[in-house]
């Protein structure tokens, strides 16, 4: 059962250049909420007790790592909720419930391509750490902000990795070219991706084109996180809606219709 637990903030560690209004990119370390089992790709709903009546809903975040002592999340400040979370201090309390949703498959002997867009890199930290044959993993990281803003170096120490930065709109073509080239090399392997919707739409297109087995982790907006509100649905190829919080966030690429296509 996914119980809601109140845990303490251990640390908020800024990545890259801290901004005056709090870090834009940061690692949030929390006490382990008492979990002894979780899988990379799953997520947690988080609500600081200090949200009060100002922010009603908890916010969903991928589990970057969880060991006996600590649960680690990697967060980008994009709006009011994440700004509030960025301002938390050690000892503050947050409510968390999880681990929620589906996870990425792990096939130790299969060559596996990890494709991360921006903060979509978060679940691959735990995926790489817990994989029994890291030599079979390769990471491609596409990002807009400086690479120092993300846990890229930590991952590049663990697995073969390369990155491509999209500083201006005209750099998008090189991101797409690299995704295309790498996915074409994994037609008989496994492709796992997490990132914003346009990134996942591109990955899905090439994965289907090359017949690569591919899973996508969606970052739809969520309210309840447990299947009750239907606020997070995404269409399946069969025309039926899927609740991303319970049937996802990780889906097989051929099962969901991203970008309006089949
Ligand atoms: C399963 C899942 C895992 C996620 N994992 C992470 C993670 O590891 N790290 C991380 O930083 N974020 C992650 N997100 C996204 C994160 O939940 C949102 O960025 C956050 O809820 C925004 O809250 P806010 O109050 O700051 O933004 P709001 O004030 O609600 O919105 C501010 C801006 O952010 C945009 N936004 C809101 N929600 C999302 C979203 N889900 N995806 C993209 N843009 C959004 C809004 O459109 C708006 O432009 C994940 C989302 C899901 C569903
Ligand atoms: S967030 Fe409520 S059903 Fe998914």
Residue 14 CB–ligand 2 contact under 6 Å? no
pLDDT given at position 61: 98
Residue 45 CB–ligand 1 contact under 6 Å? no
**Band of the pLDDT at 57, cuts 50, 70, 90?**
confident
167 or 186, higher pLDDT: 186
- Asked if pLDDT for residue 21 goes beyond 80, the answer is no
Class of domain 4-100: mainly beta
Ligand 2 centre to CA of 96 (Å) is: 16
Question: Structure pTM?
Answer: 0.94
Nearest bound ligand to the CA of residue 43: 1
In CATH, which of 3.20.20.140, 3.40.50.11700, 3.40.50.1820, 3.40.50.2300 is domain 112-260? 3.40.50.11700
Q: Where in the chain is the domain with CATH 2.40.30.10?
A: 4-100
Q: What is the pLDDT of residues 144-160, one digit of tens each?
A: 999 999 999 999 999 99
Q: Where in the chain is the domain with CATH 3.40.50.11700?
A: 112-260
Q: What is the share, in percent, of the chain residues with pLDDT greater than 70?
A: 96
Annotate 26-95 with DSSP letters as a single string: EEEEEE--S-S---BTBEEEEEEGGGTTT--S-EEEE--EE-SSEEEEEEE--SHHHHHHHT--TT-EEE
pLDDT given at position 53: 73
Find, among 107, 77, 96, 94, the residue nearest to 10 by Cα: 94
Which atom, in ligand 1's list, is nearest to the CA of 85?
Answer: 26
Ligand 2 centre to CA of 160 (Å) is: 36
- Mean pLDDT (whole number) for 85-113: 96
**Band of the pLDDT at 1, cuts 50, 70, 90?**
low
**Omega of the bond leading into 249 within 30 degrees of 0 (cis):** yes
pLDDT given at position 260: 58
Q: What is the pLDDT of residues 226-258, one digit of tens each?
A: 999 999 999 999 999 999 999 999 999 999 998
Strands 93-100, 43-48: pairing is: antiparallel
């Amino acid at each position: 059962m996914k119980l809601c637990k109140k845990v303490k903030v251990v640390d908020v560690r800024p990545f890259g250049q801290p901004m005056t209004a709090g870090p834009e990119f940061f690692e949030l370390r929390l006490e382990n909420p008492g979990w002894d089992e979780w899988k990379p790709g799953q997520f947690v709903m988080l609500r600081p007790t200090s949200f009060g009546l100002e922010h009603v809903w908890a916010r969903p975040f991928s589990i970057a790592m969880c060991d006996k002592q600590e649960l680690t999340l990697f967060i980008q400040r994009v709006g009011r909720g994440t700004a509030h979370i960025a301002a938390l201090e050690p000892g503050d309390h947050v409510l968390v419930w999880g681990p929620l949703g589906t996870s990425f498959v792990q096939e130790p002997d299969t060559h596996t391509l990890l494709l991360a867009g921006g903060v979509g890199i978060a679940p691959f930290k735990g995926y790489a750490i817990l994989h029994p044959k890291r030599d079979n993993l390769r990471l491609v990281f596409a990002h807009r902000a400086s690479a120092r803003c993300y846990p890229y170096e930590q991952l590049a120490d663990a697995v073969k990795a390369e990155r491509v930065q999209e500083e201006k709109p005209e750099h998008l073509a090189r991101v797409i070219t690299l995704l295309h080239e790498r996915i074409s090399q994994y037609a008989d392997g496994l492709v796992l991706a997490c990132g914003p919707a346009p990134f996942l739409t591109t990955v899905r297109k090439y994965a289907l084109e090359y017949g690569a087995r591919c899973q996508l982790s969606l970052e739809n907006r969520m309210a309840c996180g447990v299947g009750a509100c239907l606020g997070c649905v995404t269409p399946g190829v069969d025309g039926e809606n899927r609740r991303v919080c319970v049937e996802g966030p990780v889906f097989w690429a051929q099962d969901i219709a991203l970008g309006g296509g089949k």
